[in-house]
Amino acid sequence: MESLDDLRGKKIAVSPGQAQGVVVLRTLKTLGIGFDEVEIVELPSTQFLTALQSGQVDVAPLSEPSLTKYLDEYGDEGARGIVTPEVDALTVLWAPVSVLEDPAKAAAIKSFIPLWAQGDVWAWENPDEWIQAYYVDSEGVSFEDGKRIIDSVGQEPRYPSSWDYAIRWTQETADILAEGGWFSEIDAEDLFDRRFETVAYESVPEIYRVGADS
């Protein structure tokens, strides 16, 4: 493959319910490539790398640092990474409904969210420490590769005052999944608990806060 236009006819690893699958399906939609013009191979994202290595699929959406590890091993054989303009636009925290319906557990979540957001900000403001602790010590890639990964995929944290845009984006994604027959139609609003809407926004410095439509 030289570009995204070469996706037609390819065997593509997809996990429809995961972020990587969303990237693939939204990419196909944007390119005007029908689901019947590719061969969708449904796999959990944990199997994407081995599926590529074994030739089970031609294309898979690898997150870092798996992409770096794959290219390091197979780049000489023609493996390549191709950038897609479609990304998983949201960073979210998930919780079961039963947890959200428990007042004490919901309160614990509310207490946790500022720590989560502030940790994200810390990683952004302290890239060398983050690269060493995560990419080098935990994931086993070199510091140089970790820095390249941060430079290529890192985005400054942004916490909105409203979830309206996030809900619209999620609804678009849900509609694509329903169109492909993977899930029934849903109202994306039902997936968001707005009791927590401004908690992260209020817990980070002002430079990381954004307006409702960002």
Tokens representing residue 106 in the block: 């919901």
Q: How confident is the model at residue 8 (pLDDT cuts 50, 70, 90)?
A: very high
* The pLDDT of residue 214: 53
Backbone φ and ψ for 26, nearest 5 degrees, come out as -70, -35
The terminus-to-terminus CA distance of the chain in angstroms comes to 33
8-state DSSP, 161: S
Tokens representing residue 43 in the block: 């796999």
Are β-strands 159-160 and 39-42 bridged in parallel, bridged antiparallel, or unpaired?
A: unpaired
Tokens representing residue 32 in the block: 């005007």
What residue ranges define each of the domains in the chain, with the CATH number in brackets? 4-77 (3.40.190.10), 97-210 (no CATH)
Q: 101-109: list long-range contacts, CB under 8 Å, 24+ apart.
A: 106/195, 109/196
Tokens representing residue 187 in the block: 């109202």
* The pLDDT of residue 213: 56
Provide mean pLDDT across the span 177-188.
Answer: 86
Alpha-carbon gap, residue 8 to 26, rounded angstroms = 14
* The pLDDT of residue 102: 98
Q: What is the pTM of this model?
A: 0.74
* The pLDDT of residue 212: 59
Q: Among residues 65, 70, 66, which one has the least CA distance to residue 80? A: 70
* The pLDDT of residue 67: 83
Q: How confident is the model at residue 73 (pLDDT cuts 50, 70, 90)?
A: confident
* The pLDDT of residue 127: 94
Alpha-carbon gap, residue 205 to 214, rounded angstroms = 17
8-state DSSP, 63: P
CB-CB contact of 18 with 94 (8 Å):
no
pLDDT (tens digit, 9 = 90+) per residue, 127-164? 999 999 999 999 888 998 889 888 877 678 999 999 99
CA dihedral 21, 39, 29, 82 (to 10 degrees): 70
